[in-house]
Every structure is written in C-alpha cells, then in structure tokens.
Amino acid sequence: MYITERIAAELKDTTHAALLTSEVSRKYATGFHSSAGIVMVTKDKSYFIVDGRYFEKAEQQAKGCDVILLSDLRKQIYAIIEEHGIEVVSIESKTLTVSELEDYKQLFNALTVDSSSWLSATLERMRIIKTEEEIGKIEAAQRIAEAAFSKLITSIRAGVTEKQVAAMLEFFMRDLGADGISFDTIAASGINSACPHAVPTDKPLQNGEFLTLDFGATVDGYHSDMTRTVVIGKPDEEMKNIYNAVWGAQTDAIKAVRADVTGKLVDNVARSTLDAWGYEKYFTHGLGHGVGLEIHESPNLNPKSPFTLREGMVITIEPGVYIPHKCGVRIEDMVVVTADGCLNLTKTPKTLIYI
C-alpha cells in the first residue's frame, strides 16, 4: 500500500482532503524529494502539483499519486475539489507559518479549512513506525557513517584541528556514497567536549584529551546518527572511569529497550547507572530521540517522555557525561525497537580507541 493510500484511509469521509505542504511530508507521501510543491490526498486519488524544476523527475519517481505540472494553482486545486466534492481541507498546522496559514485560508475561502493538529498528528503517528524499506535506508546511511569513522581514526593525530576533523569526516561520508550529511558534524576535544552540542573550532587536538564525534549520513532522505568518543594519546584514570560509566549506562539502557516500555523508564535506567558511578548530575540532556526523514523526530526518551515504545520505532540511545571546564563523553547507537528487545543498527565497537 502506498503512503498516500494510508493517509487517505485516515480521512473522515469522501468530502475530506488532506493538503501536505512541508518538504518532509511531501517526501514521506510520494517518495520524491523536492523543495516545492503540494500533495493533495482525497479518498479516491492523490495529486502532486509541482513546478517545472521537478516535474519530469517527479513523473518518474513519485509514488501513489498523479503528478501535475503547476500552472495556475487555484484553478488546479479547485478542479480537484470539484471532481471529488471536497468540503473540508486539513492542513499541516505544525509546519505552516502564520502567513502561509492565511494564504491557504484565502485559497480555500469557499471551504472549511481544518487548521487543527489532526493532520500533523496523523502524519507523526504514521511516521513514528518505520517500514522495512525505511529501516533499510537508515541502516545503509549508518554503514556509510561507520566506514567514514574507520577511515577518520587512521587519518587524524595530535595537532589536527577540530574543524579539520569535521571536514575530513564529512568528506569521507560523501566519498563513500552518502547523499549528504545528517547535520553539522560535531568534533569537540578537551574542554570543548564538555559541551554536548559544541561547534568545531580551530583548537588543535592535544594528547591526553577526549575527542567526541557526533555525525551522520543521509541516504534517499533518511538519516543516521552516531557518536563515538576517542582519546588522543592516553587517558588518565578519571577519564577511563567517565568513559566506562557512560558505556555502562548505554549498555544498561539498550537492554531495557523493548515494545511497551516507556521512554521515561529507559531514560531512568541510564541515569541510575550513571548515579551508581557518581556522574548522574553531569548527564544534562535526554537519552534519545527518533530518527528517520528528520534527524530529530518522535519519540523522545527523557525524564518526562510521554511515549511508550512500539515495534518498528528507530531511536537513539546516547547517554553522556559533561564535566564543565574539563571534558565530556557521549556514546550513541541507533536501535530498532522489537517485541522483546531491540536490534542495534550501529556496528562500530565501543571499546575506547586511543589515537
């Protein structure tokens, strides 16, 4: 079944239509990526209206819809409305700006515009469970990221800057076949590693420091996400303790993942392990998040998470310890939730690497 058919099944009746306007939703619904265009889903048929920049490729690649070359949007939209007897159009309230909302209200001035959270919530509920095809693309992106990491650790040394490390890692991912990078690569060493979302600087790597690397690749719009922390030279005993505490917290949290447990519970498992090591107060963010067409999507795993895990969710498990003005460690894997546990998509070993 096409995604557009699944969306159509959620519509209330034959007079109800859904209008998909966000880049991610267009990609999800049609399998085709474009920076413009709209998808209208009715009970009987779906339509993708797109301009000449994308029309030919969309005809070849878009799934589950008729592709229409944009000429006069109002006339084309109303032709669909009249053909299907549409009276109510639901829009993506979560992603529209105020001005876009006003534009669509004017466009559909003869209809009822449903600007509630219904469509955004419906799409989120559908996207939160990944198909085998989606998991395959995420895993393909992860294999590229892992291969890039393997190349990187043989190419860096003390004296190389954080910016150079990030640039090399991004180059290796693209060179190995990634369509792009999931997000701006984090390469943070020494005291900079104490900041969870540090931006690479001109600071050179120095012996006796941690280097935290948070990065990912994309394949056909789907993201991967992983973090590894390595050491330049040799670590002292405290650094080893911090690393082992984070590794232990991640191991215990992964063991706790399975369908029907809450994100809050899994987060608490990691914090309890860190507390036993004396480092819980230095874990300053949530344990994980969903990954797919966006690098951060539902569900989330944190102390207030409202989500219950379900089979087919792809989530990260990424505990960290960040000691201000000193150092930080984070280890991150992606896992697929199963009925009785999880499948770890991340194959890179977690034994502390010395560079």
173, 291: one domain: yes
Domain presence at residue 87: yes
Q: What is the pLDDT of residues 281-320, one digit of tens each?
A: 999 999 999 999 999 999 999 999 999 999 999 999 999 9
Domain presence at residue 354: no
249, 182: one domain: yes
In a structure prediction context, what are the per-residue pLDDT tens digits for the chain, which is 355 residues long? 899 999 999 999 999 999 999 999 999 999 999 999 999 999 999 999 999 999 999 999 999 999 999 999 999 999 999 999 999 999 999 998 899 888 888 888 889 999 999 999 999 999 999 999 999 999 999 999 999 999 999 999 999 999 999 999 999 999 999 999 999 999 999 999 999 999 999 999 999 999 999 999 999 999 999 999 999 999 999 999 999 999 999 999 999 999 999 999 999 999 999 999 999 999 999 999 999 999 999 999 999 999 999 999 999 999 999 999 999 999 999 999 999 999 999 999 999 999 9
On whether the CB atoms of residues 282 and 329 are closer than 8 A, the answer is no
Computed from CA positions of residues 45, 51, 54, 57, in that sequence, does the dihedral angle turn out positive or negative? positive
Angstrom distance (rounded) from CA 323 to CA 283: 9
229, 327: one domain: yes
Last residue of a domain, one of 127, 146, 165: 127
Q: Distance between the two ends of the chain, CA-based, in angstroms?
A: 49
Domain presence at residue 353: no
On whether the CB atoms of residues 38 and 66 are closer than 8 A, the answer is no
Q: Provide the CATH number for the domain around residue 100.
A: 3.40.350.10
137, 115: one domain: no
Last residue of a domain, one of 109, 127, 145: 127
Domain presence at residue 349: no
160, 103: one domain: no
Q: What is the pLDDT of residues 4-17, one digit of tens each?
A: 999 999 999 999 99
Containing structural domain, residue 273 = 132-344
Last residue of a domain, one of 105, 127, 149: 127
214, 274: one domain: yes
138, 20: one domain: no
Q: What is the pLDDT of residues 176-213, one digit of tens each?
A: 999 999 999 999 999 999 999 999 999 999 999 999 99
Total tally of structural domains belonging to the chain: 2
12, 155: one domain: no
Angstrom distance (rounded) from CA 173 to CA 143: 10
211, 137: one domain: yes
Q: Is 325 left (phi over 0), alpha (psi -120 to 50) or beta?
A: left
116, 265: one domain: no
Q: Provide the CATH number for the domain around residue 260.
A: 3.90.230.10
Burial class (CB within 10 angstroms; exposed 0-12, middle 13-18, buried 19+) of 220: middle
299, 340: one domain: yes
Burial class (CB within 10 angstroms; exposed 0-12, middle 13-18, buried 19+) of 236: exposed
Domain presence at residue 351: no
Q: Which of 71, 23, 24 is nearest to 49 (CA)?
A: 71
Domain presence at residue 270: yes
pLDDT, position 1? 87
Computed from CA positions of residues 196, 198, 200, 203, in that sequence, does the dihedral angle turn out positive or negative? negative
Other CB atoms within 10 Å distance of the CB of residue 289: 22
Computed from CA positions of residues 82, 83, 85, 87, in that sequence, does the dihedral angle turn out positive or negative? negative
Domain presence at residue 203: yes
106, 193: one domain: no
